[in-house]
Amino acid sequence: MDVKGDSPSWSGFDSAAISASIVVATALRFWHLGSPAEPVYDEIKVLKQAQSFLRGWRPPYSTHPPGGKLLVALGVFLFGNCPWGWRAGNALMGTALVPITYLLARRLFRSKLAASIAAALVLCEGMFLVASRLAMINIVYITLGAWAYLALWCFVQNPALRTRRIQLVAMSILLGLFVGTKAAISEVGVSLTLLVITVTLIVEGQTRLPAESTKLIARKVIGACGLVVGIVLLVYLAVFVTYYWTVWRGIGDFVAYHQRVISRNLNLPPDFPNASPFWSWPLLLHPYPYWKKDLLNGAAEAIFCGGNPLLWWAVLPAILIALVRGYTQKSMAWMFLAAGYMASLAMWIPLRRYVFIYSYMPALYFGLLALAGALKECWNGGARRWEHIVLLAPLLPCLILGLGVVWGGFAACSISIVYLLMRRRPEGYDGKFVCLIFMSATLLLFAYFFPLWMGIPLSEAGYTARIWLHGQGLASWIGHEAAR
């Protein structure tokens, strides 16, 4: 199994690509950040907790650790108790996710092209954009998790002992903040990280000349994993420092809090307005508006909890490709992405309480990285015909739902004919065509749905046209109407 291999040397292209991604991400996340000028959806709950930290009040009960709320409190402290101040910290985290993704994909696939595609996919994904512009916790733990995975792959690909220790400590701090921001899903990330560390150290020990003894390998694994777990727990305890200042008097209160959280989650009902089953998330069946406002001229403004349909529907074939490539190539990078996606989704199977579509974001992030790697293989001529077909397949429902049966079918037939013509050429143009048509469609759909994610006024016809899946017999994109 490959656990080594340096990333390509840094070049002017990398500097230009990562700089451009930061500029675009900053513009998208900070433009009109103060609109709407009122709390949206769960911003109300987050702001109450943030204000309690700033004023020394007893924090209101929350089933999630306070890490994300502390970031919102910091924004209010620095920029004032106004919509821009509420959201500035999250906008910064959402901006940081883009260059972090570039660096992570660059290490996973050892490719500047894959890194560029991955950054572009994150920029074109509406769920990440919306989460970056609201004072809620979702984008905070996604970014911290991605940053920790970047440190993990620096550890995997760098055998220098001194540097590795620093990387382990940095990764552990980030994982501690990850756990301190979001319950449940963060433990999946920690477990995945420990598994990669274990496999890396075992493979390294067995492939060295002479091979290390089993006891020595075991000591290294226990030492590295013990360091990670210890720091994660210390950081997690530190995140609750405001609770110790206000209401807690010792470790007993810390334990009682977690008992209450577990009990509360076990007793939550199975259904709730806007909730949706986990199996519906990859199909994007139940997005819903976080906020909607009808205007006097018949237009409407909305902020939708939903994503780019093409990207969501292409993640499943991308994970299939990751599974096959991970098995056939014995590639830990592909296996990491497939395992991360499946674990982030499978953790919801045993739960009987209500859940929401934004809980798909961690799995979606792994899927976008896998998609970037698959499109890179298409461009470089390393993808097989079945991979081309499964990556083009999600275009069909997008064309039918966006253009109608006649024009959508005509466009799909035209794309198929061009692809077959490209297959006849020996230069690998078919793979490049797949990559280009996919990225072009992604950008077009991003522009089309952009008003739904940014609260830009739309006419009634324009708003309705963007609600693709509706009507009798079809799952409604709107679901239960969100509180206005």
Q: Is the pLDDT assigned to residue 211 strictly greater than 90? A: no
Q: Is the pLDDT assigned to residue 473 strictly greater than 70? A: no
Give 440's pLDDT tier (boundaries 50, 70, 90).
Answer: very high
Give 270's pLDDT tier (boundaries 50, 70, 90).
Answer: confident
39-89 pLDDT, tens per residue? 999 899 999 999 988 888 888 888 889 999 999 999 999 999 999 999 999
Q: Which amino acid is at 47?
A: L
Q: Is the pLDDT assigned to residue 130 strictly greater than 90? A: yes
* pLDDT of res. 6: 64
Give 5's pLDDT tier (boundaries 50, 70, 90).
Answer: low
* Number of helical H runs and strand E runs in the chain: 20, 2
Q: Is the pLDDT assigned to residue 482 strictly greater than 60? A: no
Task: Name the percent of the chain lying above pLDDT 90.
Answer: 70
Q: Is the pLDDT assigned to residue 476 strictly greater than 50? A: no
Q: Is the pLDDT assigned to residue 1 strictly greater than 70? A: no
Averaged pLDDT for residues 471-482: 40
397-431 pLDDT, tens per residue? 999 999 989 999 999 999 999 999 988 877 779 99
94-125 pLDDT, tens per residue? 999 999 999 999 999 999 999 999 999 999 99
Q: How many CB atoms lie within 10 A of CB 292?
A: 19
Averaged pLDDT for residues 206-220: 84
Mean pLDDT of the chain: 90
274-288 pLDDT, tens per residue? 899 999 999 998 889
* pLDDT of res. 48: 92
CA gap 217, 219 in Å, rounded = 5
3-state secondary structure of 34: coil
159-182 pLDDT, tens per residue? 777 788 999 999 999 999 999 999
Q: Is the pLDDT assigned to residue 479 strictly greater than 60? A: no
Averaged pLDDT for residues 254-281: 88
Lowest average pLDDT, out of 40-44, 127-131, 359-363, goes to: 40-44
Q: Is the pLDDT assigned to residue 477 strictly greater than 70? A: no
Lowest average pLDDT, out of 30-39, 221-230, 262-271, goes to: 262-271
